[in-house]
Amino acid sequence: MVRRLALGLLVTAIACSGGGTNKTSSVPETMKLTSSAFADNGAIPKEFTCEGANQPPPLAWSGVPPGTTALALVMEDIDAKFLHWVFYGIDPSVTSLPSSVGAVETRNDFGKVGYGGPCPRPGTTHHYVFTIYALPGKIGFPDIQTATRVRKDGIDRMPPTASGKLTGTYKLGG
């Protein structure tokens, strides 16, 4: 009887907590994330995509709250639900990339470690959201992990104390 009650309470708690939903969507956006390569909701230049050098665009942020232990950066194609980049363990004193002191890159949804630039199906325009997260602790995994695992078991479970977003678009061949 006690086991059933405990199991029932656990199932109820998981259901009420949102289960496996992406908890980072409710993080307050108090940080500012910008790029010198494109404006918010603007087109990402070809050089930062699969048709170009496939290197991350320059990014800068401000508004890191006091008490932040580390930062994490996520790039997601929100149209395809595809993680192009998760970069975590960034020192909170760092305010821009390409500086990456102490940071770790994950295996993206392309199956490669590091950044994977925009590369939507021909004829479609996709939206890429870069999000910077302020974390109250460090995410520690013994080796290279998938972007999904670090986001779910690291960033979402932390949870972040602040965030900032920058959205870019890209159309293959465009």
> Using one digit for the tens of pLDDT, what is the confidence trace for 161-173?
999 999 999 998 7
**What is the percentage of the chain residues whose pLDDT exceeds 90?**
71
Average pLDDT over residues 69-89: 95
What's 135-173 look like in SS3? ECCCCCCCCCCEHHHHHHHHHCCCCCCEEEEEEEEEECC
Residue 157 exposed, middle or buried by CB count within 10 Å (0-12, 13-18, 19+): exposed
Of residues 68, 74, 60, 63, the one with CA closest to residue 135: 68
The CA distance from 113 to 13, in Å, is 35
Average pLDDT over residues 13-35: 61
According to DSSP, the β-strands at 125-135 and 70-77 are antiparallel
pLDDT-based confidence at residue 59 (cuts at 50, 70, 90): very high
What is the chain's mean pLDDT, rounded?
85
Q: Say which CATH superfamily domain 22-171 falls into.
A: PEBP-like (3.90.280.10)
Q: Among the listed ranges 23-37, 40-54, 80-94, 125-139, which one has the minimum average pLDDT value? A: 23-37
The length of the chain, given as a count of residues: 174
Q: Each residue of 90-132: pLDDT tens digit?
A: 999 999 987 666 689 999 999 999 999 999 999 999 999 999 9
* Terminal-residue alpha carbon distance, the chain: 63
Compute, in degrees rounded to 10, the torsion defined by CA atoms 101, 106, 112, 114.
Answer: -30
Q: Taking the model in full, what pTM does it have?
A: 0.83
